[in-house]
Amino acid sequence: MCHSTVDDSAASGIGARLDGHPNRTLDPGLIISLSPHFDDKADLRSQLASWGPGFYDPYWNHDGISAPVLIPPAYGLRDVALETYTGEGPVSYWNAYVAVTQMGGQGTFVSEELGIDIQNDPDLVTPKLPALREYQFTLMPPEADPTSYDGVAALRGELLFTTTAGCVGCHSGTGFTDAPTLHTAAEVGQSPAYAERGTTGMYRATPLRGVSSHPPYFHDGSAGTLDEVVAHYDAQFTLGLSVTDKADLVAYLSSL
């Protein structure tokens, strides 16, 4: 539900399923808030209802902090060493985490760091993780629509990306990420709040293939558009990019 959408081929919201795409219209917090479990817990119900479509907080149910993140794509992860914004672990680590601690699957998830010790016998989750991972690795990011950006500007943008703008220092290789290396919030100009709740305390350079198809950006959705992303980096790294440079970088990002 969270990591798929439809191609709208029959009508808006109705069509063939597109697995791996982040669902930007689903409102998981609101759905969970409707459970009778929250009938006598008005505070918790209103926290859940405040998250909004496309956001989810995977730590809320055990650390009690309500600060949701954008649901990320689940495609394009074959060449990416670590899943999740904070690089907690590979695909199967997070799939186990979500299945057992969020969706109530009958399985086992133990983490001393997170203070979680859920063990079930029989464990119906762990044996399914390898096949689930293999399926996820077949999910490719959407191809960029060549009519949606200026190809010549994109070529200039690629040169900036790989040289003066320094993006390739972190967004490198086929996955456009230097994971398993992680970055501090201060290094990339992000709020440390979410990273501090997980096990790494840092952020992973987000894979960028298909990026233009799923605004907004950054783990908390703080950049609404790719223009805002580039403006963020221009300020963060004092790049001194011209108006044309910024447009060129956006064109390049739109081509990925």
- Positions touching ligand HEC (CB under 6 A) are 85, 165-167, 169-171, 183, 187-188, 190, 203-206, 208, 211, 217-219, 229-230, 233, 249, 253
Considering the complex, state which of residue 170 and residue 251 has its C-beta at the smaller distance from ligand HEC: 170
Amino acid in position 48: L
Q: Please, what is the minimum distance in Å from the beta carbon of residue 152 to ligand HEC?
A: 18
Considering the complex, state which of residue 90 and residue 166 has its C-beta at the smaller distance from ligand HEC: 166
- Asked if residues 9 and 30 have their Cβ atoms less than 8 Å apart, the reply is no
CA 160 vs. chain centroid, Å, equals: 25
How many CB atoms sit inside 10 A of residue 159's CB? 13
Q: Please, what is the minimum distance in Å from the beta carbon of residue 169 to ligand HEC?
A: 5
Q: Please, what is the minimum distance in Å from the beta carbon of residue 39 to ligand HEC?
A: 35
For 4, 62, 75, 91, 179, the CA distances from 132, given in Å and listed in that order, are 14, 25, 12, 9, 21
* Separation of alpha carbons 77 and 33, rounded Å: 31
Of 210, 206, 160, 149, nearest to 183 (Cα)? 206
Of 185, 199, 255, 179, nearest to 58 (Cα)? 199
Considering the complex, state which of residue 122 and residue 169 has its C-beta at the smaller distance from ligand HEC: 169
CB neighbour list of residue 105: distance below 8 Å, 6 or more residues apart: 99, 124, 125
Considering the complex, state which of residue 2 and residue 49 has its C-beta at the smaller distance from ligand HEC: 2
Considering the complex, state which of residue 51 and residue 233 has its C-beta at the smaller distance from ligand HEC: 233
Q: Please, what is the minimum distance in Å from the beta carbon of residue 126 to ligand HEC?
A: 29
Q: Please, what is the minimum distance in Å from the beta carbon of residue 21 to ligand HEC?
A: 12
CA 178 vs. chain centroid, Å, equals: 16
Q: Please, what is the minimum distance in Å from the beta carbon of residue 113 to ligand HEC?
A: 21
Q: Please, what is the minimum distance in Å from the beta carbon of residue 65 to ligand HEC?
A: 17
Considering the complex, state which of residue 33 and residue 206 has its C-beta at the smaller distance from ligand HEC: 206
Considering the complex, state which of residue 47 and residue 206 has its C-beta at the smaller distance from ligand HEC: 206
Amino acid in position 93: Y
Q: What is the CA radius of gyration of the chain?
A: 19
Tokens of 24: 């930007």
